Amino acid sequence: MNDYYADLGVSRSASPEEVKRAYRRLARQLHPDVNPGADAEEKFKTVSRAYEVLSDPEKRRMYDMGADPFAASGGAGFGTGFSFSDVMDAFFGAGAATRGPRQRVQRGQDALVRMGIDLQHAVFGSEEDVTLDTAVVCGSCEGSGCQPGTGTRSCSTCQGRGEVTQVQNHFMGQIRTSRPCHHCQGYGTVIANPCFECSGDGRVRTRRNLRIKVPAGVDTGTRIQLAGEGEVGPGGGPAGDLYVEVVVKPHESYTRRGNDLHCTVELPMTAAALGTTIPLSTFDGVKDLDVAPGTQSGDTVTLRSLGVTHLRGSGRGDLIVHTVVQTPTRLTPEQEDVLRQLAALRGEERPDGRMTPASQGFFGKLRDAFKGA
């Protein structure tokens, strides 16, 4: 085959502009009107043929794949014996078109399961049981896919190559294409006596229980990777990985914002006005909550380091308690008299009713607190 790149003195990676410059330079040197040498005309024709091929993107592409439009064996075509395997090699590297037999033993797929846990277990970590449907090695054939005492034999259709070749006549010459053998499915071997348990797959479906260690600090959406706990591959191949996605169940009293826990406590008006200490049930046991005198609805009390454990790092978040002050109803006459006396002492028989921005009211404070404001 002609070496058109050498004829023009350029590399195979030369750009179209480099090809054009090389041709013009050589054409000026070899043109018969300029160079009357005996072999100048023949060299000029050689350079012109090379430029005709390399300047045309389609012709250059076909030439790079092994087809020569000026080959002596085919003036009108692109040579004979043009192999589709050569095209595959040009695009994907040598040996791409001839894959050879497939491996029966393959890695299994990764698996994903979702697991619900309590908020308290997310705070401190825990061990959880999860049930999953998966594939395991067949106990009867031990992954071979064959009945005990039997084995595979070479495919008579492809002679063990795993693929068959088809030759077609084309205007470009003969084109050879390779495809997986339909008889052995590309494996090159045939299981004459498939295992009754797995039907030749080397694995069976089953349900199994798995105990998983959940680290402290996980949240909904956190995925725990367990290497080699996924599905066993065909032919008893190595198992894939198992990914466990955590879903934290809602708690009746606490909500989570980042690593902080939030809850709401209702206080009588008198306790909020005078201040008090109340017992608060937390994930760390019962703790004393100190309510300062004059506490208003929407105020917060922070208990340090009683929140969620940091997933990556040390320490814990905080527990933030939101207060709601309850106004007494159904007062007895004595209670009503006491409150009227208090109102008189404070000059609040006829209050002004000052307007405050909506964001500073109770609901605004509560909303801002949950937004992290």
Q: What is the pLDDT of residues 156-197, one digit of tens each?
A: 999 999 998 887 765 545 667 788 899 999 999 999 999 999
Structure tokens at 234: 């065909």
- The secondary structure of residue 108, as a DSSP letter, is P
Residues 6 or more apart whose CB falls under 8 angstroms from that of 107 comprise 233, 237, 238, 239, 240
pLDDT at 364: 58
Query: pLDDT digit of tens for each residue in the chain (373 aa)?
Result: 688 889 899 998 889 899 888 988 888 888 776 777 778 778 888 888 888 888 888 888 888 877 776 664 433 344 333 334 443 443 344 444 445 788 999 999 999 999 999 999 999 999 999 999 999 999 999 999 999 999 999 999 999 999 988 877 655 456 677 888 999 999 999 999 999 999 999 999 999 999 999 999 999 999 999 999 999 999 999 999 999 999 999 999 999 999 999 999 999 999 999 999 999 999 999 999 999 999 999 999 999 999 999 998 889 999 999 999 999 988 999 999 999 999 899 888 888 877 777 655 555 555 565 555 4
Report the predicted TM-score, pTM, of the whole model to 2 decimal places: 0.63
CATH 2.60.260.20 domain position(s) in the chain: 255-370
Helix (H) or strand (E) holding 23: helix 16-30
Structure tokens at 283: 């994930």
Backbone angles phi, psi at 109, to 5 degrees: -80, 155
Residues 6 or more apart whose CB falls under 8 angstroms from that of 24 comprise none
Structure tokens at 349: 């028989």
d(C-alpha 262, C-alpha 250), whole Å: 12
Query: What number of H helices and E strands is found in the chain?
Result: 9, 15
For domain 111-248, the CATH architecture is Ribbon (2.10)
Q: Tens digits of per-residue pLDDT, 299-324? A: 999 999 999 999 988 899 999 999 99
CATH 2.10.230.10 domain position(s) in the chain: 111-248
Residues 6 or more apart whose CB falls under 8 angstroms from that of 179 comprise 163, 164, 166
Structure tokens at 230: 């996924």
Nearest CA to 224 among 373, 72, 91, 110? 110
Sign of CA dihedral 264, 265, 269, 270: negative
CA 121 to chain centre: 27
First to last CA, the chain: 76
The single residue listed with the structure tokens 């990556």 is: 312
Helix (H) or strand (E) holding 120: helix 119-124
- Out of 1.25.50.10, 3.40.50.970, 1.10.150.120, 1.10.287.110, the CATH code matching 4-78 is 1.10.287.110
According to CATH, the topology of domain 255-370 is HSP40/DNAj peptide-binding domain (2.60.260)
d(C-alpha 118, C-alpha 291), whole Å: 29
